[in-house]
Structure 1
Amino acid sequence: MSFLLDYFIHSIAFKTCVCIFFMLNILHVQSFEPQYSLETRYIDVPLDHFSAVAKPKYFKLRYLINAKYHVKGGPIFLYTGNEGDISIYGQNTGFMFDIAPVFNALVVFIEHRYYGQSLPFGNTSFSSPENLRYLTTTQALADFAYVVNELKKNFFENVISYDTYPFVAFGGSYGGMLAAWLRMKYPYLVLGAVSSSAPIFGFPGMASCELFYEKVTQVFEKYGREQCVKTIKLGWDVIVNLSKTKLGMDFISSSWKLCNRLKTNEDVEKLLNWLSNIYENLAMLNYHYPTDFFLPLPAYPVKVFCDKLTTSYFNDTKGLIEHFSNAIEIYTNYTGKKVCNNLNSTVEDYSERAWDYQSCTELVFPKCSTDADMFITKPWNYENYAAQCYKKFGVKALDPGWALMAYGGKNLKYYSNIIFSNGMMDPWSCFGVFTNRSATVWAFNITDAPHHVDLRHSDPADNNYILDARKFHIQAIKQWLNMV
């Protein structure tokens, strides 16, 4: 077991630090019937906002807009796009639509450069370090500011004075980080920001690396049966030991309906990493009603998974593997339409490539697992991580202290008009802001809530904690707009 585990630990040191909510966001764009009507628009934005070349290059940035509730002079609610296709967030951020009639607001979702349809160099955007060098948070924030200026011309000309344009930024996850940073960097353009589930304190030196996996384990302990975590921990050894032989690999491949059979240690590594991501994603998306955010899931999928894993008896290792196979289908094949599970995509997703690059150069989130959680014990080593990044992209990772210098780290007392909300059953809350940082930089902690649930649409199953968070957001926005 030790050889394979050592192989697993070192070879996925780079991959597993790619944050799971980002990994989820970039897997694919599912087809769905749009719940909210959004008009697609494009704007030519500079490739490099900070260059003074004589002939600057531009590319088309996509943004989505809904003017159904907008009254001239009313505010603009602006969603700062995540690491994925912006249409996903346009259909899963219902809070902005729910409150738009209250404020007579225009609703806008801006896509992040290098994601979705906003590719600066088209299909060659990821072909070289030279083409990828414009994928930075500062360039993305400047894109958002550029769109804000365009919206000002179209919606506020001759209406109100230059310094009072009522833009309010919204964002969840990485988008929540960007919403907060947009307010920090461009306070004259954005009145305030609602930043939900933003791991803004997750950078090296700001949080302990073991917190994330401990929080995932807590979610499974709370919503799963008592035996669930113990069975998951047992499963790692069973998988590793069984996969030491060809017969064992074949059995796992058949039981788990893998599109490609396990043949090598590298294949087993991918399987273990895939399984780890499933646990992380189940914890993150443990909503109290059925969802199809990135894939269809039942209400409380962690509970459903654990019930399926632990309610039946098994008497040997192969029986346990079959139990895992049945339980995992809650995540992989809830609709029953999937033929097999593909651990090796034949074509690398552009968004996955983009996020890997960002996680190498700027957005480094150390994660490690210990005996205290339900995952394989795995250390964090920055030097190894940086070496993997250089091998993959030919780029040097930024200094681990970069985020502290660029955005202030935990010293937020000089900023204003930002709400940091966190669901306390969201694994990413461990890297969030839990306490007020100034007179108007607030923290709102939502008991028993998953990932940025407060930005989702209103639902009859919402508990009072979620309702209170939304009331808090509304009151703050009214205050920013001088409506109270």
Structure 2
Amino acid sequence: MQYGLSFLGNKFKICGPLHSPQELKGYLESIYTAAAQYNAPPEYPVSMICSAIDGEPTGTDILGRIFAGVNSYKKSYPCYHINDYSYQSESSLGWTWQTCSEMVMPIGRSINTMFQPSHFNLDRFIQQCERTYGVTPRPHWVTTYYGGHDIKLILRRFASNIIFSNGLKDPYSSGGVLEDISESVLAVSTVNGSHCLDIHLPAQSDPSWLVEQRNKEVEIIDGWITKYYADLLVLKK
């Protein structure tokens, strides 16, 4: 076991000793997850990683190809801090709190993918939330409160002034609202967009379709605000 860990640590240029296979597994999973979710221009990380894996010389072993993909994503360093993915920022702490207190997401992997199976364990998730935050998750709260079993009907009857924006390269978009529900509950999506890309700060390198998406969203919100003040004036007369 120790020789195997040492071999993997050297192969992947890990800073410091590798203590368990799970450390490396978690590190690689974090890279693939982030690349898929934030598969944004101009780099498009998924294509970058795959190209690096496929671009290795003939005879390169599987681990060597995997490292080439990691290296293309993380950029070239003398060594890599394998636990960087577990850094807890204010955003990640807030997000994990929200998944415990409001949005239980039973995400796992079956045997039908290129990755090792990983089944969602609700009991373990509950224990982790109680241990970390002292809160017991409510798995069915979101669908009960927001009517998730017929979300279109609920949104049509009770919602207004919502933009559901999605980049279709983001795997989460498959669970998103991708069509307009009413005159004020609107879907705005882009084929090449990724997770939250439209609410990132603008950059000179932004493609035209991203600029158009942002402009459309601003135009919609501006229309809501204009209508609000127009209605307010009518009420005051």
**For 1:277, what is the secondary structure of its paired residue?**
helix
**For 1:434, what is the secondary structure of its paired residue?**
coil
Match of 1:477 in 2: 221
Match of 2:119 in 1: 379
Distance 1:349 1:471 in 2: 33
Distance 1:268 1:436 in 2: 46
Match of 1:430 in 2: 174
Structure 1 unaligned blocks of 5 or more: 1-244, 290-298
Distance 2:164 2:78 in 1: 38
Identity %: 25
What TM-score, normalized to structure 1? Answer: 0.41
Change over 3 Å in CA distance of 1:481–1:401 after alignment to 2: same
Within a 5 Å distance, the mapping from 1:389-404 to structure 2 comes to 389-397=129-137, 399-404=138-143
- Tell me if the contact between 1:256 and 1:341 (Cα under 8 Å) persists in the aligned partners: no
Match of 2:62 in 1: 320
What TM-score, normalized to structure 2? Answer: 0.79
More contact order relative to length (CA 8 Å, sep ≥ 6): 1
Kindly report the root-mean-square deviation, in angstroms, between the aligned alpha carbons of the 2 structures.
Answer: 2.8
Within a 5 Å distance, the mapping from 1:339-418 to structure 2 comes to 339-343=79-83, 349=88, 351=90, 352-397=92-137, 399-409=138-148, 410=151, 411-413=154-156, 414-418=158-162
Within a 5 Å distance, the mapping from 1:24-423 to structure 2 comes to 245-263=1-19, 267-289=20-42, 299-313=43-57, 315=59, 319-332=61-74, 334=75, 336-337=76-77, 339-343=79-83, 349=88, 351=90, 352-397=92-137, 399-409=138-148, 410=151, 411-413=154-156, 414-423=158-167
> How far off its partner does 1:463 sit?
4.2
- Tell me if the contact between 1:418 and 1:442 (Cα under 8 Å) persists in the aligned partners: yes
Query: Does structure 1 residue 453 correspond to structure 2 residue 197?
Result: yes
CA deviation profile, 1:109-150 (whole Å, cap 9, x unmatched)? xxxxxxxxxxxxxxxxxxxxxxxxxxxxxxxxxxxxxxxxxx
Structure 2 unaligned blocks of 5 or more: 231-237
> How far off its partner does 1:481 sit?
2.9
Distance 2:99 2:222 in 1: 36
> How far off its partner does 1:344 sit?
7.3
CA deviation profile, 1:317-372 (whole Å, cap 9, x unmatched)? xx32122223202222x2x4564323279x96363555433322223221111233
> How far off its partner does 1:446 sit?
1.1
Distance 2:173 2:79 in 1: 35
Q: Which has the higher strand share?
A: 1
Match of 1:462 in 2: 207
Q: Which has the higher helix share?
A: 2
